[in-house]
Structures are given as C-alpha cells and as structure tokens.
Amino acid sequence: MAKEIKGSSSTGPQNIEDALEALGGFGKFQALVLFLILFMELPTAMLIFLPVFIGKNPSEWLCDNVTVTKTEACECMGNVTPVDDSVSIVAEWNLICESSWVSDTIVTVQMSGMILGKILASQACDWYGRKKSFVGVLVLMTLGSITTAVAPNPYVYGGARFVCGASFSGFLGITSVYSMEFLTPGWRAWSSGLSPMGIGIMTLGILAYLIRTWRTLVWATLLPFFGIVFILPFLPESPRWLLRNNKITEGHKVFNYIARLNNRDPLDIETLRCIAEKERPKTLENSNEEVKQFSYLDFFRNKQLLKTTLCLQCVWFTCGLVYFGISFNIKNLSGDPYMNVVYMGLMDFIGYPGSSFLLMKLSRRKSLVALMSLSAVFLVAMAILQITLEMSNYKYILAILCFLGKLSIGGARCVLRVFSGESFPTAIRSMGLGVSSGAISFGGMLAPQLAYLGDSSPSLPFFVFAVVSVLGSLVSFLLAESDGKPLQEEVRTKQASHKKPEVITVASVC
C-alpha cells in the first residue's frame, strides 16, 4: 500500500500548488487532462469559422438560364437562380441584391451570442463546477451545429448560429480555467499554448475544399463533438473548485487519481482538510457552513477587481477587433480562399505554442506587449505598402504581412487567456475571465464592418488595427504581474470593519 503524504505546520503541502508539486508537478495525469480538455477546441474552431464558407456569395448566377456574374445578377430583369443551390446559404435562400445583408448580419448575430455565452457559462462554471459546465456547453454546441445543418430558412439558421456563438465563447472561457487549475505556475502557460484551434481552422479549409455542399460540410465538422462520450469518464472535477466548495472527500479522490497516474504517494485527507481550512473565507465559522456564491455585482463592489476587470476588457476588446478583423479580411486577399484559411490556421498553430515558449522567458505583461506591438508593426507595414505601391505586383508580400500579423495577435490572445485566468481568485475565476474576455465579442462584432470598409479603402482597416493594438498593449501595463505566483484562491471580506472586500492569497500554515 502506498504511503500517504501528510502535512504539518512545517512540512508537507501547505497549499494546492504544493500538493500538485508533491504529486509530480507535470506528469502523465496533466498531459492526459490537457489533451482531453483541449482536444475539443479543434471542432469548436471549425464551428465558429464555418460562415466563411457556408455564407459565401457564389461568383456566378443564372439570369433566365444565362450565366452572369454576381454583380450582373442584380441587374437581371428576369428570373435569377443559383448555378448550384447547395454550395452556400446565399445560393440556397437567394440572399443576393436587396437581401445580401442577411448573411453578414447572421455573422454579427453569432458574434453577439458570444457575449451572453461568456456571462452565463462563466457563472455556471463557478457555481456548479468546471466539469458539468464543460459538458453543458459541448452539448449546446452540438445541438446548435445540428440545427445549423437542418435549418429550413435564414431565421432558424440565425438562431442556431446565435447558440453556436454563445456556447463557443463559454467553452473557451471554461477550458482556460479548467485546464489551468490542474497545473503549477511553471506549466500554466501551456493551458492555452497547446490549443489545437489552429489545427481546427486548417482542417476546416481542407474539408471545405473537399466538401462543396454546405449542409454536408456542417455535418462533417460537428462529428468530433461526439467524442465527449469517450472523454467524459477520464475527466475529473477541478480539485481547486472542490476544496473551495468544501467537497473534501471528492477532492481527495481527484488527488488520489492524480497520484495514481503520476506514480506518486497519495495525499492524506487531513492534509487536504488543512489546506481547505486555510483557504476558507474568514466569514465561515466552520467547515459545514455553506460557501458564498459570488455574482457579477461583486466585481463592482471591489475596487481592485473592478480595475483588473476594466483593464482586461480593454485588452480583450483590442485582441478581438484585430484577431477577427484580420480573419474576416482574408476575403480581400488574393489567392485561393481555401488555402488562405489553411494559412490562417497555420499561424495560430505556430503562434499559440510559440507564445508559451515566450512566456517561459518573459513575464506575462512583457510577452503581451511584445506580441501586440509586433502585430502593429506588420499591420502598419501593410497599410503603408497599400498606399505607396501598386499592390497587384506585390500581392504575396501583402499576404505574408497579413499572416504574420495574424500570428502575432493570435499569440497575444493566447497569452491573454493565461494572464486573465491568473488575475482572478478561484472563487470567481471563471466569472472574471468571462466578464473580461466577453469584450472580445464586441471587437468581433465591429471587425466585419471594418473588413467591409476594406473593399473601398484597403489600407484603412490595417491602420485602425495597428493603432488599437498599440493602445491595448499600453493598457496592459496597468495590470498586476502574475508570472510565477500561486493562483489566488478566495475573495475575502473583513467583518470587523466597513472596508470593502479584498482579494488575498492565503499563505499561513495550518
């Protein structure tokens, strides 16, 4: 029988970080749980970028059985029909001319759903647990994708995309927190750096090239969601959330699971009781008392939380505007549209792990500033070239600069996911990440409009993206550095005075 690790006033684990280090730090368990949680980001990437292909306007139409361009189709005095009504929603539902606004508006509806999803999923994650919320948003994404595939008209399709957008944003917030809480400070950067979203985007480009029928394409991209049936039995609840909510026995089972997979001695349950006792809010007199469930109002009652949230919202808005702006502006680049999406995914595939390596060398704040500033440099270079040169002769240079800008802002987005998760205590970590990263949705809603302006003024969007990127990097200097520090566990309120709540990290001994 394995010998149990016991804690005391001077030896043994004194907090959750110590407990995870005693069980191997980063071992087989952490590798497994990261793979299982982050794998599901692959189909979610395909889900959110599907409108790039299924919402496209075919280049050729029929005017009384005579082939015409999409511009000439609006001048047709006869009957306008698609050459092939299965290639996109625009072709199937005849969304051209006076109805051409519908497809892009539905993309905005999808992005607006991300706001609601962030708020609701994040609160559910802090109230009901990481695992239940993880499964819940995956089920919603699956249902939204199925409804998309069978939608009989634009109204049902728009509702389905709203559900997809809401569940997508909630899912990203949950996975950031869920995976991070199994890791020690030295490994937390990889909770986002190993994201397969880039692979998902590249896969979408390949599938869209092979499958030209839009409904079949939707079915093909949602199949990986059914993998949750095989993943669920191996995923435990977050031990941090369990201890914070006085579920000591359940938490002990999770730590034993970690110890077994990492080939380490298990922790004694009294050690966990000691850790939970130290990190319990001072307002609780005993371990049987119900733990307070926080709401979004608590972010406005605490000045430090409010400052952190507002600063992160500014940076997330910046990342959303630039990241989705470049992505939607892909349509204005020359070259094969399918390969352009593959290249776009390749930039995330390189940028995400690249940012994690950068985080191992630089602090969170320096890494964020460096990547956002680098993105601005590439974007300004694009804008200047478009103004000063005849870009038809330099279209490949323009594409390279665009993709390098995408690589940099994608890496910055990865850093920001880690930085945001570390900036809030466990009691409100998911809500904090949700309410701050929810600002990315507002940036995403504005991005298509700037991409539309790029049709008449190609350099304007890139100047805007560059300026906004620099401003966002400057705001990040107002945030407290979190690199190498233990995750905060609790929002504490002092009863003896009228002082407002303060966030602290407990370091006392049991």
Higher-confidence residue of 485 and 499: namely 485
In one letter, which amino acid is 353? P
Q: What is the 3-state secondary structure (H, E, C) of 118-163?
A: HHHHHHHHHHHCHHHHHHHHHHHHHHHHHHHHHCCCHHHHHHHHHH
Task: Indicate if 71 and 148 belong to the same structural domain.
Answer: no
pLDDT at site 118: 82
d(CA 157, CA 144): 9
Cα 315–Cα 317–Cα 318 angle in degrees, nearest 5: 65
pLDDT at 340 over 80: yes
pLDDT in tens, 73-82: 888 888 888 8
pLDDT at site 509: 40
Task: Indicate if 207 and 71 belong to the same structural domain.
Answer: no
pLDDT at 210 over 90: yes
Task: Indicate if 37 and 68 belong to the same structural domain.
Answer: no
pLDDT at 329 over 80: no
pLDDT in tens, 111-143: 888 888 888 888 888 888 889 999 999 999 999
Residue 455's pLDDT band, with cuts at 50, 70 and 90, is low
Task: Indicate if 408 and 326 belong to the same structural domain.
Answer: yes
Of 437, 414, 444, residue with least CA distance to 314: 437
pLDDT in tens, 82-103: 888 888 898 889 888 888 788 8
108, part of any domain: yes
Burial class (CB in 10 A: 0-12, 13-18, 19+), 65: exposed
3-state secondary structure of 502: strand
Higher-confidence residue of 161 and 184: namely 161
CB atoms under 10 Å from CB of 448, counted, come to: 19
Tokens in use for 152? 């009989």
Question: If you average pLDDT over residues 144-161, what whole number do you get?
Answer: 94
d(CA 165, CA 107): 9
Last residue of a domain, one of 68, 98, 128: 98
d(CA 349, CA 328): 18
Task: Indicate if 212 and 88 belong to the same structural domain.
Answer: no
Are residues 37 and 179 in contact, defined by beta-carbon separation less than 8 angstroms?
Answer: yes
283, part of any domain: no
Task: Indicate if 369 and 468 belong to the same structural domain.
Answer: yes
Lowest mean pLDDT among 177-191, 207-221, 300-314, 461-475: 177-191
d(CA 28, CA 263): 9
pLDDT at 477 over 90: no
508, part of any domain: no
Q: Residue 5: beta bridge partners?
A: 267
Task: Indicate if 227 and 334 belong to the same structural domain.
Answer: yes
Higher-confidence residue of 398 and 6: namely 398
Higher-confidence residue of 463 and 47: namely 47
Domain range for residue 71? 60-98
Domain CATH number, residue 317 = 1.20.1250.20
487, part of any domain: no
Higher-confidence residue of 364 and 217: namely 217
Question: If you average pLDDT over residues 202-215, what whole number do you get?
Answer: 93
CA torsion 275-276-281-282 (nearest 10°) is -60
Tokens in use for 396? 């490949």
Cα 173–Cα 366–Cα 343 angle in degrees, nearest 5: 60
Last residue of a domain, one of 47, 77, 98: 98
Task: Indicate if 168 and 20 belong to the same structural domain.
Answer: yes
Give the count of alpha carbons within 13 A of 34, CB side only: 19
Task: Give how many domains the chain has, as a whole number.
Answer: 2
Higher-confidence residue of 222 and 279: namely 222
Of 266, 364, 358, 240, residue with least CA distance to 312: 364
438, part of any domain: yes
Residue 502's pLDDT band, with cuts at 50, 70 and 90, is very low
Averaged confidence pLDDT in the chain:
81
Q: Which residue has the tokens 């279209």?
A: 395
pLDDT at 416 over 70: yes
User: What are the phi and psi torsion angles at 349 (to 5°)?
Assistant: -60, -35
Of 316, 32, 360, residue with least CA distance to 173: 316
510, part of any domain: no
Write down how long the chain is: 510
Task: Indicate if 362 and 340 belong to the same structural domain.
Answer: yes
Question: If you average pLDDT over residues 232-243, what whole number do you get?
Answer: 88
Task: Indicate if 164 and 86 belong to the same structural domain.
Answer: no
Q: Residue 81: beta bridge partners?
A: 62
pLDDT at site 507: 38
328, part of any domain: yes
pLDDT in tens, 172-207: 888 888 888 888 877 777 777 778 888 999 999 999
d(CA 208, CA 52): 10
pLDDT at site 236: 92
Are residues 503 and 303 in contact, defined by beta-carbon separation less than 8 angstroms?
Answer: no
Task: Indicate if 21 and 162 belong to the same structural domain.
Answer: yes
Q: Which of the given ranges, 87-96, 299-308, 393-402, has the highest pLDDT on average? A: 87-96
* The overall pTM is greater than 0.85: no
- Rounded to the nearest 10 degrees, the angle between the axes of helix 364-388 and helix 460-475 is 160
pLDDT at site 393: 67
pLDDT at site 505: 41
pLDDT in tens, 29-77: 999 988 998 888 899 999 988 988 888 888 888 888 888 887 788 888 8
Task: Indicate if 218 and 91 belong to the same structural domain.
Answer: no
What is the DSSP code string of 38-95?
HHTHHHHHHHHHTHHHHTPPPSEEEETTEEEEHHHHTT-SS-EEES-TTS-HHHHTT-
User: What are the phi and psi torsion angles at 419 (to 5°)?
Assistant: -60, -45
117, part of any domain: yes
Q: E strand or H helix at 504, and its extent?
A: strand 502-504
Higher-confidence residue of 394 and 351: namely 351
